[in-house]
């Protein structure tokens, strides 16, 4: 099991505690990060006697993802929050291929590439929140934006036919034959399993992501309502 950092909280911290959390002994670096992450704080003392008081964490989702799960500070945390909101709460979305997840995110107005989605999911795996080698797979045929679900037997049959075809034709023609018959190229994607040892971290992340999305939705509704009122007046 991986060692976890301590999530930043609204309380007083010694200089040594924050050095451990931020993995630095540079007080200026600590202050700069807190400011960039929109964390309100005060400090007193000097040197090893320096103490910080965290007064308000305006975006706990962002801070949690950076400190606890090592997401890059340059991540688009709004998009990450929406993705995790669906991924952690919708069983169907959770098991979909990345291609289909990409389509849904675009339709929902939060465009993400499948490469970015893969990065998000791999970060969860790196932190052992999910186990990708679960032995369970989703089988499908993919062609452009079209995804056709299938079963393991059909998936294997499609590739069996492919290997027969390349004995008498170029590989690209064999792939074309697969596309023509099945509607796409046969693929499979592992369906991850939650790691029961880190359910508390999973639940915390889910709560922060949900709160971030709900706040964003509330702001959108409020903004639209204000615009509608102004147009009426």
Residue-wise pLDDT tens digits, 145-167: 788 999 999 999 999 999 999 99
Measure Cα distances from 142 to 115, 213, 233 in Å. 16, 30, 51
148: closest CA among 100, 180, 90? Answer: 100
Tell me the whole-structure pTM to 2 decimals. Answer: 0.80
Element (H, E) at 187: strand 185-190
Rounded Cα–Cα distance for residues 75 and 21 (Å):
20
Q: Dump pLDDT digits (tens) for 53-79.
A: 999 999 999 999 999 999 999 999 999
């Amino acid at each position: 099991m991986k060692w976890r950092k301590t999530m930043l909280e609204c309380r007083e911290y010694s200089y040594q505690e924050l050095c451990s959390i931020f993995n630095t002994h540079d007080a200026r670096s600590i202050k700069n990060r807190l400011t960039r992450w929109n964390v309100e704080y005060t400090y007193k003392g000097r040197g090893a006697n320096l103490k910080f008081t965290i007064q308000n964490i305006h975006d706990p989702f962002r801070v949690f993802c950076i400190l606890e799960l090592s997401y890059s500070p340059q991540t688009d945390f709004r998009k990450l929050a929406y993705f995790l909101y669906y991924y952690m709460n919708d069983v169907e979305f959770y098991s979909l291929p990345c291609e289909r997840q990409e389509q849904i995110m675009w339709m929902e107005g939060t465009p993400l590439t499948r490469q970015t989605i893969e990065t998000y999911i791999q970060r969860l795996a790196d932190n052992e929140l999910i186990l990708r080698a679960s032995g369970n797979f989703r089988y499908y045929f993919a062609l452009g934006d079209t995804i056709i679900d299938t079963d393991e037997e059909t998936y294997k049959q499609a590739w069996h036919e492919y290997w027969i075809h390349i004995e008498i034709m170029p590989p690209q023609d064999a792939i074309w034959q697969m596309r023509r018959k099945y509607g796409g190229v046969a693929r499979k994607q592992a369906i991850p399993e939650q790691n029961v040892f880190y359910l508390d971290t999973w639940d915390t992340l889910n709560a922060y992501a949900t709160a971030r999305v709900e706040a964003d939705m509330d702001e959108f509704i409020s903004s639209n309502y204000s615009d509608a009122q102004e147009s009426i007046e």
